[in-house]
Amino acid sequence: MKRLKLNSLITLAITMLMLSVMTGCGGKQVKPAAQAVATEEPASTNSAVTAEKLQTVKHANGETSIPVNPSRVVVLDNGALDNLLALGVKPVGAPSIVAVEDGYASYLQDTEGITNIGTVEQPSLETIASLKPDLIIGIKDTQEAIYEQLQQIAPTVFTEVGGAEWEKNLTFHALVVGKVAEGEKLFVELDAHIAKLKEKLGDKLTSTEVSLLRPRKDRVSVYLKPSFTGGVVERMGIKRPAAQDKTDDFNFNVTDEQIAELDGDVIILFGRESEQQYFNDKIKSNPLWNTLEAVKQNRVYMADWEVWLSGHGIQAVNRMVEDMGTFLDQ
């Protein structure tokens, strides 16, 4: 009987010890699999993210755990900068479009205090790391080569391309910074803006063929529907010349021997200032230029390239709607 009692006491002691260990290690209840993402560790030791505030998102480079409400975001292109500012989120770092000395696109407001991290094509990893971001937003098409290095700094998510998928990108940007409702509101406001444009222009909107041209150093690029510029114009319901009413590529190139392909009822130019010489010397000075319908009717307009070419965000899109209302109402 004594041996039995001793065994019982030993069993009881072991049981109590196990319960004590489980209680000490299990201060948090085990969560179901669907919530497991909330207990993951941050992807980077440099991130200020706490383990309780992560979500896993799918993006162009796979799946990444990111903060639910990031507070220190670095963006790697103008479209993301444009969208985040519109969503009410001020990044801690962003690039210039072409050259660091250019600063940020002039149409954007409230960029004071944002650290310049280089350019879209050449962001500075050292500068990005110094900002201690908790989220980096980039573009696979442009920055895939440095993705692993970015991941070592902070959780990094990519869109597939830049402005050509501006609608999809705005939705994604809103999701990853915790501003889904604000993103939906921006789309509603844009639709209302376009509705006012249609009311203002009436038949002019659908009867005027608009040619979209980007002067370049040695050619002119004609922008088609899959491009950022062409896609925005299509969303407005604007008609394109037959030669430009295509979806097979972002653009096609024209030289001074193919000037007739540039024509439309209206021509909108949106080239960078540094790339105007070929257009001025080889296109505008060619007698064929003056035979184009838009030229004869004095309906050739120069648009802001920062908006029309490289804007890639919802604020740029709204600026384009305003510009179109001016260009077509003449």
**Distance of alpha carbon 324 from alpha carbon 201, whole angstroms:** 10
Is the domain of 94 the same as that of 224? no
Is the domain of 88 the same as that of 136? yes
- Beta-carbon contacts of residue 104 (< 8 Å; ≥ 6 apart): 78, 81, 94, 96, 111, 114, 116
3-state class (DSSP) for residue 215: strand
Identify the bridge partners of residue 58 per DSSP, sorted by sequence position: 63
Predicted confidence (pLDDT) at residue 13 exceeds the cutoff of 90 = no
Is the domain of 130 the same as that of 247? no
Is the domain of 166 the same as that of 206? no
> 107 in a domain, yes or no?
yes
Is the domain of 288 the same as that of 173? no
Name the residue with higher pLDDT: 254 or 8: 254
pLDDT value for 105: 97
DSSP string, 21-54: HHHHH-SSPPPPGGGGGGGPPPS-TT----GGGE
Amino acid of residue 170: L
Predicted confidence (pLDDT) at residue 48 exceeds the cutoff of 90 = no
- Beta-carbon contacts of residue 283 (< 8 Å; ≥ 6 apart): 215, 220, 256, 259, 262, 289
The mean of the pLDDT values for the chain is: 87
Name the residue with higher pLDDT: 38 or 313: 313
pLDDT value for 330: 80
Least confident stretch, 8-12, 23-27, 145-149, 264-268: 23-27
DSSP string, 128-170: HHHT--SEEEEEHHHHGGGHHHHHHHS-EEEESSSGGGHHHHH
- Beta-carbon contacts of residue 221 (< 8 Å; ≥ 6 apart): 213, 214, 251, 252, 253, 254
Burial degree of 151 (CB within 10 A; 0-12, 13-18, 19+): middle
Half-sphere exposure in the Cβ direction for 96 (13 Å, CA): 9
pLDDT value for 208: 95
Is the domain of 210 the same as that of 309? yes
Is the domain of 217 the same as that of 284? yes
> 294 in a domain, yes or no?
yes
CATH number at residue 99: 3.40.50.1980
pLDDT value for 206: 87
Q: What's the number of domains the chain is made of? A: 2
pLDDT value for 275: 93
Is the domain of 174 the same as that of 210? no
Helices 166-176, 78-87: crossing angle, 10 deg rounding:
60
Which residues form the domain of 123? 37-178
**Distance of alpha carbon 305 from alpha carbon 308, whole angstroms:** 5
Is the domain of 149 the same as that of 225? no
> 77 in a domain, yes or no?
yes
105, 311 contact by CB (below 8 A): yes
Percent of the chain with pLDDT over 70: 84
pLDDT in tens, 138-188: 999 999 999 999 999 999 999 999 999 999 999 999 999 999 999 999 999
> 197 in a domain, yes or no?
no
Is the domain of 160 the same as that of 214? no
Percent of the chain with pLDDT over 90: 82
pLDDT value for 236: 96
> 9 in a domain, yes or no?
no
Q: β-strands 210-215, 220-223: how paired?
A: antiparallel
Helix H segments across the chain?
Answer: 2-25, 78-87, 125-130, 140-143, 147-153, 166-176, 180-201, 204-207, 228-235, 277-278, 293-296, 305-308, 314-328
pLDDT in tens, 253-299: 999 999 999 999 999 999 999 999 999 999 999 999 999 999 999 99
**Distance of alpha carbon 257 from alpha carbon 186, whole angstroms:** 43
